[in-house]
Every structure is written in structure tokens, then in C-alpha cells.
Amino acid sequence: MESKVEIDAEEFRQYIDAIKKKLINPRYELNKTKRIMLADIRDHFNKETGPVGKWTRRKDPRGTWPILNKSGDLKEGLDGEIVLRSDGIKIKIYINGPANKYGFVHNNGMRIPNRGGGLTKMPKRQFAWLSSRAKEEITQVWLKGL
């Protein structure tokens, strides 16, 4: 006796068409990914952590506010866009407003000119990275979307 598994061809075609539609226009997944990324990066400000641990403390504390969060412009200015292009997905995280250059300097750590004509070394305090938790959340968004 021969065993057969039959699949309703129309139902299967509809299923494949739904997957193709999601792959062609994954608007929900892209927006959800952006929200997860920005929330994760803001969390790094709250925890004052980079991918390798706590941020370097201030040498000369001039206040009690959290590191990189005196005015809130840097953390609150975070934004991003995720664009689906024919050659892949383009992800861009940026900081709106005057904190833009300040964020770049701190995320990368570099020497900048000071008022005395010399250079001041700004410590590397990375905030633009994704935790393993955020990566897992993003993976689940995309897996559920299919």
C-alpha cells in the first residue's frame, strides 16, 4: 500500500504569494526593527555601557548627571531609517541637532581641539551598537513576519 501526502495547490500558492509579498515589502518588519534598535541604543545611555562594558568615568566630574546625558539632546536626538533597496537593506542611525558631532566623537573616541589650542582626548563611549537581546528580538520579528 502506497502512502501519499497531498497538498492543496491553491492553498500552497497563496502561502508562497504571502511570503513573497512580505519579502518584497516588509514595511512592518522594517519599522519594528528600527524601534527595537533605537530603544536598545537608548538603553545603553541609561546603563552607561558599550559592547565591552561600562563607559569610562569622567576624570573631573562637574555635576551629578549621567555620562553623555547632561542635556538629554544626545539620547533624545537619536533617530534612524531603514530603507529597502535593490542591493539590500540600508540602515542609518543618526543624531538630530547640535549633539550630532558630539555623539560621533564619543561613540568613536578621538582627539578634538580645545580652547587652549591643543587637543583633548575624548574617551570612546560607544552607544551605537546592538545587544544580543536586541538582535534576538529583531530575528524573531523577521521570523514571525514570514
**Count H helices, E strands: the chain?**
5, 6
In this predicted structure, what is the pLDDT of residue 1?
Answer: 63
Tens-of-pLDDT digits for all 146 residues of the chain?
A: 676 666 677 887 888 777 777 777 788 888 999 999 999 999 998 999 999 999 888 777 677 788 888 788 888 888 888 887 777 778 888 888 777 788 888 888 999 888 899 998 888 999 988 999 999 999 999 888 76
pLDDT at 6: 67
CB-CB neighbours of 128 under 10 Å: 19
Closest CA to 133 of 31, 67, 49: 49
Q: In the chain, how long is the greatest CA-to-CA distance?
A: 91
- Provide the pLDDT for residue 39: 94
Q: Which residues of 9-32 are buried (b: 16+ CB within 10 A; e: fewer)?
A: eeeeeeeeeeeeeeeeebeebbeb
Q: What is the pLDDT of residue 35?
A: 93
pLDDT of the residue at 49: 92
Residue with cell 541604543: 41
